[in-house]
Amino acid sequence: MAHDLHAALTSLGIHNHHRLLLNVPANASSDASLAIVTSPTTNAPIAAVRLDDEKSYEETLARSAAAFKKWREVPAPVRGQVVRAIGDEFRTHKDALAAIITAEVGKITSEARGEVQETIDIADFAVGLSRQLYGLTMPSERPGHSMREQWLPLGPVGVISAFNFPNAVWAWNAMLAAVCGDTVVWKPSLLAPIIAIASNTLAQRVASRFGHEDLFTLVMGTDQLIGERFIADKRLPLISTTGSCRMGRRVGEVVSKRLGRSLLELGGNNAAIVHEDADLDLAARAIVFAAVGTCGQRCTTTRRLIAHESIVDQLLAKLSKTYQSVRIGDPAREGTLVGPLVNARAVEGFEHAIASAKQQGGTVLVGGGRASVAGLSGHFVQPTIIRAPANNQLPIAREETFAPILYVFTYRDIEDAIAMQNGVDQGLSSCIFTRHAGIAERFLSPAGSGSDCGIANVNLGTSGAEIGGAFGGEKDTGGGRESGSDSWKAYMRRQTCTINFSGKLELAQGIKFE
């Protein structure tokens, strides 16, 4: 694993990056200036990274603020050409970047490549967007006047990313922010700092070729020393945060106190409804991928299955058979479908959730424990299915556990199913499987009485969103939107402009002041 990481970094030309120590010093655990990166696959240290202190943090923010003043003057289509080149760079180095993700966070190779592909895709999207940052023209009530609105660069944008998508989530923000005329300061998870160093270095290497230093910068540190300073920093008009609901509440509180903007994409507790007329083979395949992909560590992971009582046993038979054949193991090995959880704490959370479910009357149908993988001492667990008691009361299912646990509930009436789907604090992703157009439309009710999530799918699972749509959710998920659609507006400020070409002073609302 360490060899693969070193080879990937060497191919990128950053194996000797000033922040990165591939030979972990013996005293690293006692050195507050270093963070040790441990492989979730082997449970062995693979690198250490140098953290920022107050001085280096200030230097980085000052550089980003200075770069913004230059970058905002570059025409948006020209900014798009820089982003185009960045996308090409990531396309060239896709496999090496994916190998770093696999080594650092345990994501299987195909999913790691898919994540880097998201970065490439959002760069392509941003290139087109650079010629479409449209404002509006509006009729004025005053003769001899015209009105329009325009969108202007916002400033240095702060991005906080989580470990589970350590490359793509940064790119969703960074590529859009860049074409909008903003610079980007990235604070990655300390569980995934190596891919952050690699990604930021590649992007900035390209930007520098075009004469734009410090377009992309990086700060690393603990929440206490760097995180709190970061979210309170008035030089960052927008903080975009991906992470837990608890963390998002803290970010939102601090940023709102300084009247800044926060873009929050937080936790999910996503449900799949399977109606009595559904294609069960299709539903089963989609549910398995969404429930066990990334070892259940996606914010869009399917955590609750709400199945019609007439087909639940048949569906569970299909799911159970597939779960028992899922290959758990080294995420870098071809054929592995489920890699490890990210660390020991995640395993403890997995075990706590299963114990709680049992105490609350749930029945473990498949899995339920740690998994043994020959030759590896990483954080492997069994994908697990737990059936709720007949009364559908299973309080632990209201909590988001970042692990491959699927809770199963039943229903008779579609209204009850939708109510169960909506009956949690989070509101990120949702889906329904049905052949009935009326049931599908009920789930997508234009009155808002269907799914209350930011994402609602029909006949496909809760995970695997495309970059063209706005990504995010409601309620405790935070209300933010990243990636496609008109999410670019979060990275700009709106200005309404009125031009008087009449030669007279005309007041609105018919006011006379003479």
Q: Which one is catalytic: 111, 265, 400, 482?
A: 265
pLDDT tens-place string over residues 1-59: 666 899 999 999 998 899 999 999 889 889 999 999 999 999 999 999 999 999 999 99
CATH 3.30.300.90 applies to domain 270-475:
no
pLDDT at 513: 86
Nearest partner of 198 among 172, 168, 220, 167, judged by Cα? 167
Structure tokens at 213: 């230093």
pLDDT tens-place string over residues 65-119: 999 999 999 999 999 999 999 999 999 999 999 999 999 999 999 999 999 999 9
8-state DSSP, 51: P
Residue 427 CB partners (closer than 8 Å, separation 6+) = 268, 452, 453, 454, 473, 474, 475, 476, 477
Active site residue 276: no
CA angle 25, 185, 199 (to 5 degrees): 60
Rounded CA-CA distance 114/174 in Å is 18
Domain 55-266+479-494 has what CATH class? alpha beta
Rounded CA-CA distance 412/435 in Å is 17
Percent of the chain with pLDDT strictly greater than 70: 99
State the average pLDDT over residues 140-160: 97
Q: Is the pTM of this model over 0.85?
A: yes
Structure tokens at 481: 């939107």
State the average pLDDT over residues 178-197: 98
pLDDT at 16: 87
pLDDT tens-place string over residues 336-374: 999 999 999 999 999 999 999 999 999 999 999 999 999
Nearest partner of 43 among 364, 416, 344, judged by Cα? 344
pLDDT at 514 > cutoff 80: no
Q: By mean pLDDT, which of 22-36, 124-138, 275-289, 415-429 is the weakest?
A: 22-36
Pairing of strands 429-433, 455-458: parallel
Percent of the chain with pLDDT strictly greater than 90: 96
Q: Which one is catalytic: 180, 245, 299, 453?
A: 299
pLDDT at 72: 98
Structure tokens at 255: 């940023």
Residue 384 CB partners (closer than 8 Å, separation 6+) = 350, 354, 364, 366, 367, 368, 403, 404, 405, 406
Q: How far is CA 200 from the centre of its chain?
A: 17
Domain parsing of the chain, residue ranges = 55-266+479-494, 270-475
pLDDT at 494 > cutoff 80: yes
Type of residue at 7:
A
pLDDT at 63 > cutoff 80: yes
pLDDT tens-place string over residues 315-328: 999 999 999 999 99
pLDDT at 129: 98
Residue 322 CB partners (closer than 8 Å, separation 6+) = 284, 285, 288
pLDDT at 2: 67
- SS3 (DSSP) at 389: coil
Neighbour order of strands in the sheet with 20-21: 20-21, 45-50, 34-38
Active site residue 265: yes
